[in-house]
Structures are given as structure tokens and as C-alpha cells.
Amino acid sequence: MNFDVSALTTTMTEAVRGAIGDRWSTVRELAEKELGKLAQTLEDVRDLHARGTIDEGRAWDIVEIQRNTLLTVLRGVKGIGILTARGAVDAAGRAAAEVVNRLLGFKVI
């Protein structure tokens, strides 16, 4: 039985989307691309196992590398999302600072 790589990508993407929350739109393109590649490598491992090239233990070892890679992708996506969101917060902060400084009549922020 083959994996449906597209369906697997969608499942992983939805899970990540849930975990990322509001920042999803800022990292969507990056996350979908990387998760698609990971789904394809899972299919490649399944294929090696199905052909008898590797046994179950060996397949498990490679899937663990895959798992660590997925965690790295999640952390990276999360971090880039935070930095992107922070850019928006910083811009809002600067705008707020201008208002506060103007109200007080001197530079406090």
C-alpha cells in the first residue's frame, strides 16, 4: 500500500497550522513546502521497506531522523513566525511610542 503523499502533507500541515495559530499566514508557504518534502521522504522509506531493502528496525531508525527533522522544521517555522509577528508588533510599538512621546512632550520611549 502506498502513502498518499499529498494527503499526508495535508494532515501534517493542518497539525502544524493548529500549533502555530495566528502566525500561520506568515509561515504557510515555507511550512507547506518543507512538510511536503518530509512526506515524500516518508514514502521513500516505506518503499525501501516494502521492497525488502531495509528491515523494520532500520526503517524505524530513519523515521526517527525524520521525526527530528520535523521537530527542527516546527521550531524554525515557529521562530520565523515569531520574528515576523514581532516585526508587526515593533511597528505598532513605534507608532504607539510616537503618540506617548507627543502626549508627554518629551522622549520617554
* Footprint on this chain of another protein (rule: CB under 8 A): 30, 34, 37-38, 41, 44-45, 48, 53-54, 58, 61-62, 64-66, 68-69, 71-73, 75-80, 82-84, 86-87, 89-90, 93, 96-97, 100, 104, 108-109
Residue 1: CB minimum distance to another protein, A: 19
Q: Do residues 8 and 42 lie in contact, with contact meaning Cβ atoms separated by under 8 Å?
A: yes
Residue 92: CB minimum distance to another protein, A: 9
| Structure-block grid coordinates of residue 81 | 513566525
CA–centroid distance for 49 within its chain = 28
